[in-house]
Amino acid sequence: MNKKEVVETILRGQSRVANNKPGVYFAPANIALCKYWGKRDLELNLPQTSSLSVSLGHLGAKTAIQEITDSAEIIDEIWINGEPEKPGTPFSKNLKNFLDLFKVTPTQAYQIKTETNIPIGAGLASSAAGFAAVVGALNDLYGWQLPLAALSILGRLGSGSASRSFWSGFVEWQMGVREDGMDSKGHALPEQWPALRVGILILNTAPKPVSSRVAMERTVLTSPFYSVWPVKQAADLRAIKAAIAAENFEILGSVAETNALAMHSLMLTATPPILYSEAATIESMHRIWKYREEGLALYFTQDAGPNLKLLFLEKDRETVSQLFPTLEIIQPFGEHNNQ
């Protein structure tokens, strides 16, 4: 099955006539505590393993979408934070290809206006919130009223991690076993953890040298250790879910940290190797380990970039922000949650 066929299956019997007013949707960014790294189907973004994330509350993307009817050119228009997105960038190409999946005639075009409060260049999987917000806004524009699980499948076709950006709190993306991916979707965990904090430590905002798509594919194809990843991932996922259920922060933090380090070790053993860490990343890791030895419950996770996301509890907020004064601190279960 290809992407278009998945979209057609999900939208069978649904209206393809847009409402008069734009469709609007907010989707939160998410940070994986157990990472998604490696696809079993490149076309449908089907993962090799399940993964688990925490959504970042009010940090995310809000998208308004409408059909363009009065333009001479049939071309999608993309605006991000009030600026027109340049047509040739990889992001706008990906988004346009994604929008094409939802069109019924070649004369259809969309205008998309996205406002995002995700720190630019933080490597915060902004594509996850971005694609999820577009899917949610299309659902609103056409009045489909699809369940969140169906939106999650559609979001995954844009970016794998988008499948986790339809819920607040802890979200698991179950890998599924079906070839068409209809069982590869997110669901929310019932647990809340109001004292949990995520700190975004921005060390370099330059665009990443290797995209996560390319890096994942290379890792799966060339790392001699990749076969260990699904085994470790299954064990980590069980441990993290148990830690969430028991509110055991030390287990949550240490499993999330080793999971991220294992993912980066796989990349180091790919050919040619991929190393997202920079000197400042390594220096910060050593500092975190030293503070931990001194008794502070502070852990990190790292995505496909040099920046770190720190995990800690509200009781240590003061100490952590003194040690890392530039940290942007997020309350995933805080008062700003709007879903």
Q: List binders of ligand PMV among 1-30 (CB under 6 A).
A: none
Contact status, residue 51 vs residue 216, Cβ threshold 8 Å: no
| Of the candidates 77, 142, 79, the residue with the CA atom closest to the CA atom of residue 111 | 77
Q: Is 336 in the site for ligand PMV (CB under 6 A)?
A: no
The number of residues that bind ligand PMV (CB under 6 A) is 14
Q: Which is nearer to ligand PMV, 51 or 139 (CB)?
A: 51
Q: Is 35 in the site for ligand PMV (CB under 6 A)?
A: yes
Q: Which is nearer to ligand PMV, 96 or 213 (CB)?
A: 213
User: What is the nearest approach in angstroms of ligand PMV to the Cβ of residue 159?
Assistant: 4
Instruction: State whether the Cα torsion 271-121-61-327 is positive or negative.
Output: positive
Selected from 36, 102, 291, 299, the binder of ligand PMV by CB under 6 A is 36
CA distances from 322 to 75, 214, 279, 316 (A): 49, 37, 21, 10
What are 308's strand-pairing partners?
201, 302
Q: Is 266 in the site for ligand PMV (CB under 6 A)?
A: no
Q: Which is nearer to ligand PMV, 131 or 144 (CB)?
A: 131
Q: Is 212 in the site for ligand PMV (CB under 6 A)?
A: yes
Q: Is 240 in the site for ligand PMV (CB under 6 A)?
A: no
| Of the candidates 120, 2, 114, 13, the residue with the CA atom closest to the CA atom of residue 65 | 114
- Contacts (Cβ under 8 Å, ≥6 apart) of 129: 27, 28, 29, 30, 59, 60, 61, 116, 118, 162, 165
Q: Is 232 in the site for ligand PMV (CB under 6 A)?
A: no
Q: Is 160 in the site for ligand PMV (CB under 6 A)?
A: yes
Count other C-beta atoms under 10 Å from residue 262's C-beta.
Answer: 17
User: What is the nearest approach in angstroms of ligand PMV to the Cβ of residue 54?
Assistant: 11
Torsion, CA 34, CA 267, CA 117, CA 55, rounded to 10: 0
User: What is the nearest approach in angstroms of ligand PMV to the Cβ of residue 69?
Assistant: 33
User: What is the nearest approach in angstroms of ligand PMV to the Cβ of residue 45?
Assistant: 7
CA distance 338 to 11: 27
Pairing type for strands 185-188 and 299-302 reads unpaired
DSSP annotation string for 110-144: EEEEEEE-SPTTS---HHHHHHHHHHHHHHHHHT-
Selected from 303, 308, 309, 320, the binder of ligand PMV by CB under 6 A is 303
User: What is the nearest approach in angstroms of ligand PMV to the Cβ of residue 318?
Assistant: 29
User: What is the nearest approach in angstroms of ligand PMV to the Cβ of residue 307?
Assistant: 11
Q: List binders of ligand PMV among 94-153 (CB under 6 A).
A: 125, 127-128
Helix (H) or strand (E) holding 157: helix 148-158
The residue ranges that bind ligand PMV (CB under 6 A) are 32, 35-36, 51, 125, 127-128, 159-161, 212-213, 303-304
